[in-house]
Amino acid sequence: MKVKVNHKIHELQEPCTAREAADKLHLTSPDQAVAVSINGTLSDFHHPLKEGDEVTFWNFDEPTGKEVFWHTSAHVLAQAILRLWPNAQPTIGPPLEHGFYYDFANLSLSDQDFDRIEKEVEKVLSENHKTQRVDFKNKQEAKEAFATNPYKCELIDGFTDDSISAYRQGEFFDLCRGPHMAGLNKIKAFKVLRTSGAYWRGDSTKEMLTRIYAISFPDKKRLKEYLQMLEEAKKRDHKVLGPALDLFSLKEEAPGMPFIHPRGMIIWNRLLEFLRECLKKGGYLEIKTPLMMSKELWERSGHWYHYRENMYTSEVEQREYAIKPMNCPGCMLFYRTALHSYKELPLRIAEIGHVHRFEASGALNGLFRVRSFHQDDAHLFMRPDQIREEITEILKLAEKIYTTFGLPYKMELSTRPEKSKTIGSDADWENATNGLKGALDDWGHSYRINEGDGAFYGPKIDIHIRDAIGRFWQCGTVQLDMSLPDKFALEYVDSEGPHKRPVMLHRALFGSIERFFGILIEHFSGKFPFWLSPYQVTIATVADRHIPFAKELAEKIDALNIVCDIDDSNDSFGKKVRNAQMLKVNYLLTVGDKEVENKTVALRTRDGVVHGEIDFSDFLAKVVKERDEKALMSPFSTAP
């Protein structure tokens, strides 16, 4: 039979399972074929193949592969825990962006138990159990199988249909939708990371459980690299560096709503200035929409029914309102304020909108996960024939923005989910997907197709940036929306007269500006490039008699819109140098008797190199050029 495997046609002998196909195609190394999709649906490896099937084998380096690899590993962790603590009750164990966790009731442990757990995990892995799926006929049968575990029974009661399954590996049997890897032999490295408390189902009124975080890999080298990355990440933690550099703070009075300090506002404003420069060159118009709008608007957009639990609401004069969690509906109302012609399209509307979303307190994480944040949204309205060109322009803008910060990136195209869960005709989806794919092909960068992971209202491109220590962050997104233009009855007058519905693209490149700020703190480890730095120049005086000259220099620097501080404290010169290093000042200028006499400065750069006496005018010319070019490297040193 002919089967398309990873976009190539292969001849396979019947009968053949996905596992057998992977073996025949030599996808057998630990990082290969850790997950499989058949006709766009994630499946188990025992699934039989038939003529014409489209099969995608996912490796560990792909998000889908990691998800299945880590979900299977969570079951291994639970199996080891139950061998060591037979009275513990497993609840849930999902994969995360990095690793996985499993929550247990009736379990108490500490860091001292980690080695013991890891040794038991090794025993489980050495037994190389095959994973077996069990499908229950109905909820009652499933509840009977888990009668001794009230947490599993509660989950079963909450299921909306009778399609319930469990997975067995050796003696371990767990409620699970799956799918899993075919066996455990691909898991070659395993590490318990930490433990914490967690409320059952995130509800503080319910029982506190023990959560165990862990991670696994298909080889020991990757585990070693990951642990090294964690150590480096600790040094770069924006939650530590941000307050230390006086950039932002978080207060109990406003959980998840950051306070940006004056030094942080220097960075914030420069990010927005840079963004607005890019928008102007890209032909965007900027708007500002209200922070709070009526319930009727959110009902029309669909947010009231699908996102209500994440929205902040209020009642004014017996009318319900919601603080906006997204900017999109406001932009739809703006579009409707005028009658538009095909000649105006594409119409690019940008908004740096302040939005609020409820996040559980336990999920809040510095600037990375907040309740109040700003999005660099844009909504582009166009004719269908303009999709490809507009996406190409967005990708050019993304390239400009990310390379300015020294951030490499990768892209994913997410296609139509299961047809019954989407809106729009087959022709609409084909046209939209071809537009996105064509633009990516024209762009010439490599990208991966994420089958079936698009939004219900259209396909999308996700852009993942990579920071200085190799972590990927999903920031940019380009989404084609076939829903909101219909809901808000958006129209334009075509060349032939009739009114037509515009195609709309959502796009964000910073994403959450607060989150992007946090990413930059960690990416640069607080050592911002000169144009972005909140501590560009500090002038340190050797003695009080040098203060007048320092002030004279500072006035000239300030006139160039460069941040300049004077350290004329009574601290020793060595302490002044250390203070500048702690604040990660780009350039420390020292003035003493010699410099006052020669009208020069002594330069020390952030990398610790002492350049000695230099001409002040030459210094200014170089740093102005460095700022204006938004250079990542200092002209005075080899370090940024």
Rounded CA-CA distance 346/350 in Å is 13
Rounded CA-CA distance 11/508 in Å is 43
Active site residue 357: yes
Q: What is the pLDDT of residue 13?
A: 82
pLDDT, tens digit, for every residue of 521-560? 999 999 999 999 999 999 999 999 999 999 999 999 999 9
Q: Inform me whether the pLDDT recorded for 99 exceeds 60.
A: yes
Q: What is the pLDDT of residue 52?
A: 84
Lowest mean per-residue pLDDT among 207-221, 339-353, 442-456, 474-488: 442-456
Mean pLDDT computed over 374-392? 93
Q: What is the pTM of this model?
A: 0.84
How far from 522 is each of 99, 249, 275, 340, 618, CA to CA, in Å? 21, 16, 20, 44, 32
Rounded CA-CA distance 627/529 in Å is 8
Name the more confident of 330 and 438.
330
Q: What is the pLDDT of residue 434?
A: 83
Q: What is the pLDDT of residue 114?
A: 97
Q: Which of 143, 263, 379, 604 is catalytic?
A: 379
Active site residue 246: no
How buried is residue 358: exposed, middle or buried, by Cβ count under 10 Å (0-12/13-18/19+)? Answer: middle
Query: Does residue 521 sit in helix, strand or coil?
Result: helix
Rounded CA-CA distance 113/104 in Å is 15
pLDDT, tens digit, for every residue of 18-69? 898 888 888 889 999 999 988 888 899 998 988 888 888 999 988 889 999 9
Return the ∠ at Cα 426 (arms to 425 and 432), rounded to 5°. Answer: 90
Bridge-based pairing state of the strands 89-90 and 100-105: antiparallel
Active site residue 377: yes
Q: 471: how many CB neighbours lie within 10 A of its CB?
A: 18
Residue indicated by tokens 């409620």: 175
User: Which sign, positive or negative, has the C-alpha torsion 8, 12, 16, 21?
Assistant: negative
Q: What is the pLDDT of residue 629?
A: 96
423 band by pLDDT with thresholds 50, 70 and 90: low
Q: Which of 32, 79, 375, 479 is catalytic?
A: 375
Active site residue 627: no
Active site residue 169: no
User: What single string gives the DSSP state of each residue in 60-117?
Assistant: TTSHHHHHHHHHHHHHHHHHHHHHH-TT-EE----B-SSSEEEEEES----GGGHHHH
Rounded CA-CA distance 278/280 in Å is 5
Q: What is the pLDDT of residue 614?
A: 95
Please state whether 568 falls in left (phi above 0), alpha (psi between -120 and 50) or beta.
alpha
For residue 281, the Cα-to-chain-centroid distance in whole angstroms is 27
Query: Does residue 274 sit in helix, strand or coil?
Result: helix
Q: Which of 143, 324, 460, 546 is catalytic?
A: 460
Q: Which of 176, 278, 328, 475 is catalytic?
A: 328
Please state whether 156 falls in left (phi above 0), alpha (psi between -120 and 50) or beta.
alpha
78 band by pLDDT with thresholds 50, 70 and 90: very high
Q: What is the pLDDT of residue 639?
A: 55
Q: Inform me whether the pLDDT recorded for 156 exceeds 80.
A: yes
Q: Inform me whether the pLDDT recorded for 640 exceeds 60.
A: no
Q: What is the pLDDT of residue 638?
A: 60
Q: Inform me whether the pLDDT recorded for 480 exceeds 70.
A: yes
How buried is residue 252: exposed, middle or buried, by Cβ count under 10 Å (0-12/13-18/19+)? Answer: exposed
Lowest mean per-residue pLDDT among 115-124, 216-225, 424-433, 509-518: 424-433
Q: Which domains does the chain have, with CATH numbers?
A: 2-57 (3.10.20.30), 64-234 (3.30.980.10), 243-289+324-523 (3.30.930.10), 537-628 (3.40.50.800)
Contact 373, 352 (CB under 8 A): no
Q: Which of 143, 357, 371, 416 is catalytic?
A: 357
Q: What is the pLDDT of residue 8?
A: 80
pLDDT, tens digit, for every residue of 309-364? 899 999 999 999 999 999 999 999 999 999 999 999 999 999 999 999 998 887 88
Tell me the residue type at 494: D
Q: What is the pLDDT of residue 421?
A: 66
Name the more confident of 455 and 563.
563
Rounded CA-CA distance 388/372 in Å is 34
161 band by pLDDT with thresholds 50, 70 and 90: confident
Q: 144: how many CB neighbours lie within 10 A of its CB?
A: 10
